Amino acid sequence: MTQIHKSGALYHAGPKRRPIWEATYRFGFTLAFLVAIWHLTLQQQPYTTLSSSSNELWWQTYVQKSLSKGPLKIPLMPFELSVRNDEAIIQVLQHFKVDPQKGLYPNTHYENLTIIDIGLPTESVLFAKEGYSVEAFEARTKGIQQIERVFAALPNDIQQRIHLHHSALSNVSDTTMQMYDANDSSSLLESAIQSVQEKSKFESSGQRMETVGVNELDRFIAPSMNIVAVKIDTQGVEPEIFMGSQKLFSQRSSLQSPPIVIVTEYCTTLRSYEELRVGPHLLSGLGYTCYIRKNSPPFTELVLDSALVYCGDFVCIHHPSVGNF
């Protein structure tokens, strides 16, 4: 409850003296109104935090390591990948002979091979059908309802492999934020719904805003998970999600290693270059090599600098034989 403290300015200026109770009432009403407007303004401000994580120091070292090498080059993927992210992830895992039935590598048995699917995770269906456990995340209530209808039609053994979480992800936990509901282009970022296409989607939704729960991905990672892949499509919030994922990249046991493949959106129309580049540079500092698909004309290589205009996905790979494609 907002407490209003008394002030010495109890009388209205002017020749006519107002009763003290009237001046106090006017002052209190005005202050309460201003506090309410200030609070509402804070709720509607664009989400632009790159340094509020409780674990903020862990990722800065890796970003600086990559930045010290100059502009990051993103080469062309050495082999053709599907335009669908779920199929592309399965293709990369099959290339490295990952088999959820037999193990991570031939003749080596790993249980609970897991794929993390963040952002309208209808693609979780293919992952589950391939035999993977799936941790799926969706922030919007409308999106959750849509996904639940899709999952309800699946056979029971497929449904049991998918764990659906109603939460947005970022680099903070146990909080709420305002989400701009633009259907499949929804975002925590106001800047992400300013382009012509996204703005029209936001307007078609009636410019709907939703208060959503927000957590770090680390809150959902169990020691038993062998995470082999991650898909992130969150309309510009990807850098913060990586920052809140220290457990994802740390070796949780002697048998576990970072995910082999991460497919993440990179779109310069969603937020500033200085903020957006943190994600790919963090992955690079962690030892990932990021690629663009062969079906991303006219690019044969991207150089991440302030002049780049690009909207697409990066396929980032962490594997001992990544240089031997």
Q: pLDDT tens digits, residue range 97-117? A: 888 877 665 555 567 799 999
| pLDDT tier for residue 251 given thresholds of 50, 70 and 90 | low
pLDDT over threshold 60, residue 298:
yes
> Which domain covers residue 83, as residue numbers?
56-171+217-324
**Which of 93, 152, 147 has its CA nearest to residue 124?**
147
The proportion of the chain whose per-residue pLDDT surpasses 90, expressed as a percent, equals: 42
pLDDT reading at 24 higher than 60: no
Q: Which carries the bigger pLDDT value, residue 97 or residue 45?
A: 97
Read off the pLDDT of each residue in 115-136 and give the average, rounded to a whole number. Answer: 93
Mean pLDDT of the chain: 78
Q: Tell me the pLDDT band of 28, cut-offs 50, 70 and 90.
A: very low
β-strand partners of 211: 178
Please name the residue that has the structure tokens 């962690």. Answer: 286
Q: Give the mean model confidence (pLDDT) for residues 63-80.
A: 93
From the list 260, 285, 275, 273, the residue with the least C-alpha distance to 59 is: 285
pLDDT digits (tens, 9 = 90+) for 129-169: 999 999 999 988 888 998 999 999 999 999 999 999 999 99
**35 has a pLDDT exceeding 60:** no
183-210 pLDDT, tens digit per residue, is 666 666 666 566 656 666 666 766 777 8
Q: Give the CATH number for residue 287.
A: 3.40.50.150
* H-run or E-run covering 281: helix 278-285
pLDDT in tens, 168-183: 999 999 998 887 776 6
Mean pLDDT confidence for 223-244: 90
Q: Is the pLDDT of residue 85 over 70?
A: yes
Q: Is the pLDDT of residue 26 over 50?
A: no
CA distance 300 to 258: 27
- Higher-pLDDT residue of 140 and 241 is 241
Given a cut of 70, whether residue 54 has pLDDT beyond it is: no
The helix-helix angle for 278-285 and 56-67 (nearest 10°) equals: 90
Q: 22: number of CA atoms within 13 Å, CB side? A: 7
What is the rounded distance in angstroms from the CA atom of residue 4 to the CA atom of residue 312?
51
pLDDT at 48: 44
How much is the pLDDT for 36?
Answer: 39
H or E segment at 165? strand 162-166
- What gap in Å lies between CA 196 and CA 153, rounded to an integer? 35
pLDDT at position 273 over 60: yes
pLDDT given at position 143 = 86
Nearest to 121 by CA among 154, 155, 166, 173: 166
Q: Is 101 or 17 the better-scoring residue by pLDDT?
A: 101
Q: In what order do the strands lie in the sheet with 209-216?
A: 168-170, 209-216, 175-180
Residues 110, 104 contacting (CB under 8 angstroms): yes
Q: Buried b vs exposed e over 191-226: b needs ≥16 C-beta within 10 Å?
A: bbbeeeebbebbeebeeeebebebbbbbebbeeebb
The label of the residue with tokens 């809150």 reads 219
> Is pLDDT above 70 for 53?
no
Q: Is pLDDT larger for residue 265 or for residue 253?
A: 265
Q: Is residue 50 part of a domain?
A: no
Q: What is the mean pLDDT of residues 11-23?
A: 41
Under 8 Å between Cβ of 203 and 15: no
* pLDDT score at 184: 61
Q: What is the mean pLDDT of residues 296-308?
A: 81
Domain count, the chain: 1
User: Would you say residue 208 lies in a domain?
Assistant: no
- Please report whether residue 28 resides in a domain: no
Determine how many CB atoms are found less than 10 A away from the CB of residue 293. Answer: 20
> Is residue 272 a part of any domain in this protein?
yes
DSSP character for 76?
B
In a domain, 26, yes or no: no
Count Cα neighbours of 120 within 13 Å in the Cβ-side half-sphere: 14
Is 50 exceeded by the pLDDT of residue 32?
Answer: no
What is the layout of strands, in order, in the sheet containing 226-232? 162-166, 133-138, 113-118, 226-232, 261-267, 311-317, 289-291
Is residue 144 in some structural domain? yes
